[in-house]
C-alpha cells in the first residue's frame, strides 16, 4: 500500500505527493507540511475537526468505539484498580510506577502541597464573590512569580520539579479559592492524608472543630480525578501546547489551560449541567427541555450531551453513571436531580434527533451530581476538573518539551476583510 497520497489541483493539473503518517492506533493522517510550498494552497479546518496538531504517546481515544486509553491502559481498568496519583505518574512517565517509584512520587507531591504565604495577599485582593475559576486563572498563573529560578523549559530537572509542584499545589489553591469565597480561614495541607482526603480537609475543615474526611467521598473524588486526568488534544490541552510552543514557562501554560477549560463548551459544562437540571426541576418538564434542545431557533442545548470525538457512548460517562448511583446510595442521599437526569437521558437516547447526531451523555452529565453529593459548590465544579486535568496538561507539556524540537504553533487563515485601501483623514470620514 502506498504511503503517499496525491493531491491534484484541478485548476492547473499540478500535483503534490504527500506522505501519510500512521500512528500505533487510529486513523492515519496526511502530512500537509509541504502543501503550500508545492501547490500554493493552505488547508481550511475551523475547529480542527480533521486536523492532528501533534504526535503524542499519552492518550488514545476511539470515538466510534467509545475507547479511552491512558498510555495504553483502558480507562475502566484504571478506574477500577488505580489511584489518581498513580495515574498522574503514568501520564507523566509513560508506565505504571513500581512500589518504590510510587512511594517516592507520592512523597514528592505530598511535600510540595504548601503555597507561599505571599499568595494569600493575592487571594485577599479578590472580591468575596469572585468566581473560583476567575481566581484560579489568576492565582495559578501567579505561582510563576514564586518559582522564577526553576522554570526553564529546556532543563529536565526544572521541568520535573514544576510538574510535581503543579500537581501538588493545585488542590491547595483550589481550596483557598473556596475558603476565600465563604470567608473562612485557609486550611494548611496535612501531609498525613492522601491527595483527595487532603483536598477535602482543606475545603471543609475549620480551625474551630475537628473535621473527619469521609472515605467514601475521598474515594469518589479520586475516581472522578482519574476520569478527568487527560483527554488527548482537547481545547485546554491544545491551549497548553500552543502556549508551550512559544517557550513560555510551564506555569503560564497551565494557567492558559485553566482559562480554556472555563468555557461551557469544555470544562464549564459540568456547572452548566447542574444549572440546566435545576432549571428543568422536575421529570415532568423533561420532554419540553428535549424539544427546546432540538429547536434550531432556540439556543438551548442539552448540556452534558454530545462530544466532538465520541460518537458512541463516552466511556467515562458509563463509569460515572454507575458511580453516581453508588455514591448517592452510600452517602444516603436522595437527590431529585438524579431522577431528572435519568429521565432526560432516557428521553434523549430514544429521540431521533439525538440518535441521528450520535449525541450521548458525556463525562460531565453525571459528574456534577456526584460533586453536589460531596458538597462541592457548583461554582467549584470546573475548578475540580482543573485539578485533575493538571496531570494531563503537564504530561503533554513535558512530552512536548522533552522532544526538544518545539516548533511554534502558528496557524494560517483565510483572509476575508477589505482588500488594500487608502487611509482616509478623520475630517473626510
Which of these is catalytic: 158, 201, 364, 396? 364
Complete DSSP assignment for 371-404:
HHHTT--GGGHHHHHHHHHHHHHHHHHHHHHHTS
In the bound state with ligand ACO, the residue whose beta carbon lies nearer, of 81 and 357, is 357
- In the complex with ligand ACO, which residue's Cβ is closer, 139 or 348? 348
Q: How far is the CB of 384 from ligand ACO (least distance, A)?
A: 12
Q: Specify whether 112 is catalytic.
A: no
Q: Of 171, 77, 104, give the one whose Cα is nearest residue 391.
A: 171
**Residue 234 CA: distances (Å) to CA of 12, 239, 261:** 38, 8, 9
Please state, in angstroms and rounded to a whole number, the distance separating the CA atoms of residues 36 and 39. 5
Provide the sign of the torsion angle of the four alpha carbons 157, 160, 164, 167, taken in this order. Answer: positive
Query: Which residue lies nearer to ligand ACO by CB, 257 or 306?
Result: 306
Catalytic residue at 31?
no
Q: CB 166 → ligand ACO: shortest distance, Å?
A: 20
Beta carbon of residue 229, minimum distance to ligand ACO (angstroms, whole number): 12
CB 264 within 8 A of CB 303: yes
* C-alpha span between 283 and 262 (Å, rounded): 29
Closer CB to ligand ACO, 187 or 269, in the complex = 269
Q: Which residues bind ligand ACO (CB under 6 A)?
A: 265-267, 269, 293, 301-308, 357, 359, 362-364
SS3 per-residue string spanning 20-88: EECCCCCCCEECCCCHHHHHCCCCCCHHHCCCCCCCCCCEEEECCCCEEEECCEEHHHHHHHCCHHHHH
Closer to ligand ACO by CB, 365 or 397: give it. Answer: 365
- Shortest Å distance, C-beta 107 to ligand ACO: 31
How many Cα atoms sit within 13 Å of 224 on the Cβ side? 32
Beta bridge partners of residue 16, listed in sequence order: 7
Bridge partners for 19 per DSSP: 4
Contacts of residue 288, defined as CB under 8 A and 6 or more positions apart, other chains included, come to none
Whose cell is 487510529? That residue is 26
Smaller CB distance to ligand ACO: residue 294 or 325? 294
Measured CA to CA, the distance from residue 373 to residue 331 in angstroms comes to: 8
Q: Around 219, how many Cα atoms within 13 Å sit in the side-chain half-sphere?
A: 12
Q: Which of 131, 228, 266, 307 is catalytic?
A: 307
User: Min. distance of Cβ 23 from ligand ACO in angstroms?
Assistant: 21
User: Please, what is the minimum distance in Å from the beta carbon of residue 198 to ligand ACO?
Assistant: 25
Residue showing the smallest CB distance to ligand ACO in the complex: 306
Cα 287 to Cα 223: distance, rounded to the nearest angstrom: 32
Order across the sheet with 29-30: list the strands.
Answer: 4-8, 15-21, 29-30
| CB 309, min distance to ligand ACO, A | 8
Could you tell me which of 56, 49, 369, 109 has the C-alpha nearest to residue 230?
56
For ligand ACO, the closer of residues 237 and 249 by Cβ is 237
Active site residue ranges: 307, 364
Amino acid at each position: 500500500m502506498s504511503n503517499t497520497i496525491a493531491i491534484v489541483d484541478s485548476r492547473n493539473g499540478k500535483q503534490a505527493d504527500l506522505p501519510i503518517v500512521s500512528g500505533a492506533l487510529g486513523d492515519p493522517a496526511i502530512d500537509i507540511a509541504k502543501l503550500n510550498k508545492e501547490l500554493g494552497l493552505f488547508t481550511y479546518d475551523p475547529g480542527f475537526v480533521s486536523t492532528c496538531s501533534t504526535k503524542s504517546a499519552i492518550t488514545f481515544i476511539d470515538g466510534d468505539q467509545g475507547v479511552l486509553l491512558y498510555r495504553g491502559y483502558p480507562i475502566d481498568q484504571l478506574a477500577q484498580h488505580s489511584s489518581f496519583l498513580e495515574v498522574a505518574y503514568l501520564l507523566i512517565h509513560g508506565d505504571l510506577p513500581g512500589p518504590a517509584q510510587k512511594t517516592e512520587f507520592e512523597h514528592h507531591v505530598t511535600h510540595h502541597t504548601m503555597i507561599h504565604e505571599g499568595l494569600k495577599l493575592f487571594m485577599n485582593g479578590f472580591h468575596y464573590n469572585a468566581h473560583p475559576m476567575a481566581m484560579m486563572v489568576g492565582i495559578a498563573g501567579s505561582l510563576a512569580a514564586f518559582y522564577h529560578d526553576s522554570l526553564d523549559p529546556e532543563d529536565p530537572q526544572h521541568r520535573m520539579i514544576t510538574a510535581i509542584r503543579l500537581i501538588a499545589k493545585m488542590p491547595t489553591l483550589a481550596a483557598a479559592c473556596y475558603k476565600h469565597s465563604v470567608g473562612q480561614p485557609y486550611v494548611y495541607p496535612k501531609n498525613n492524608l492522601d491527595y483527595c482526603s487532603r483536598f477535602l480537609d482543606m475545603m471543609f475543615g475549620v480551625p474551630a472543630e475537628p473535621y473527619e474526611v469521609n472515605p467514601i467521598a475521598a474515594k469518589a473524588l479520586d475516581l472522578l480525578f482519574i476520569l478527568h486526568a487527560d483527554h488527548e488534544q482537547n481545547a485546554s490541552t491544545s491551549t497548553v501546547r500552543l502556549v508551550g510552543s512559544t517557550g513560555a514557562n510551564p506555569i503560564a501554560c497551565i494557567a492558559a489551560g485553566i482559562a480554556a477549560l472555563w468555557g461551557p463548551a469544555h470544562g464549564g459544562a459540568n456547572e452548566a449541567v447542574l444549572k440546566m437540571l435545576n432549571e428543568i426541576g422536575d421529570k415532568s418538564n423533561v420532554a419540553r427541555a428535549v424539544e427546546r434542545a432540538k429547536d434550531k431557533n432556540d439556543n438551548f442545548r442539552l448540556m452534558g450531551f454530545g462530544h466532538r470525538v465520541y460518537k458512541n457512548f463516552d466511556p467515562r460517562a458509563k463509569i460515572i453513571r454507575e458511580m453516581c448511583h453508588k455514591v448517592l446510595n452510600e452517602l444516603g442521599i436522595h437527590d431529585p436531580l438524579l431522577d431528572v437526569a435519568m429521565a432526560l437521558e432516557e428521553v434523549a437516547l430514544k429521540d431521533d434527533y439525538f440518535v441521528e447526531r450520535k449525541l450521548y451523555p458525556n463525562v460531565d452529565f453525571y459528574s456534577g451530581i456526584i460533586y453536589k453529593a460531596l458538597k462541592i459548590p457548583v461554582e467549584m465544579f470546573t475548578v475540580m476538573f482543573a485539578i485533575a486535568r493538571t496531570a494531563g496538561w503537564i504530561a503533554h507539556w513535558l512530552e512536548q518539551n522533552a522532544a526538544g524540537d518545539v516548533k511554534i504553533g502558528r496557524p494560517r487563515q483565510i483572509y476575508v476583510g477589505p482588500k488594500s485601501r487608502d487611509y482616509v483623514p478623520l475630517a473626510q470620514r
